[in-house]
Amino acid sequence: MPNCSCMMWNVAKSSWRKARRYATTSRITRTAPKNSQVEQITKAFDVDGALLNEMMRLDLTETTLNEFGRFDRLKASVNRSLAKAFFDKPDSPVSQFTANLLATKLLKSFILEGGFDLDDRK
């Protein structure tokens, strides 16, 4: 008869492997859509993608959004002319000031909500 503690170790090790595999798979499936969403925002506004990815990973709240000036740096990295072009409509153009405000609001919502499809907010 095999040693009981050895059998328990094998079961525990097997369970740990399954749990780790699940966690890794789950994390990959959750981050794949977010990566494409971050890529959409990065292309639309030419923002600092690395900083945006970091902020998304940190799971920030309204209170901690601008900790260490991160959100200010992200806002400063927005390409103003791309933001204006994004929010301009053929029948009602927006001013640069309004485009800046809308871009800030969109980035803030994007981070706090954990990402969204940019086409849904246009």
Q: What is the pLDDT along the chain (122 residues), one digit of tens a residue?
A: 555 555 555 555 566 666 566 555 544 444 444 788 899 999 999 999 999 999 989 989 999 999 999 999 999 999 999 999 999 988 989 999 999 999 999 999 999 999 888 887 66
Exposure string over 6-40, b if 16+ CB within 10 A, otherwise e:
eeeeeeeeeeeeeeeeeeeeeeeeeeeeeeebbeb
- 41 near 47, Cβ under 8 Å? yes
Q: What is the pTM of this model?
A: 0.70
How big is the chain by its Cα radius of gyration, in Å?
A: 21
Exposure string over 72-84, b if 16+ CB within 10 A, otherwise e:
eebbebbeeebbb
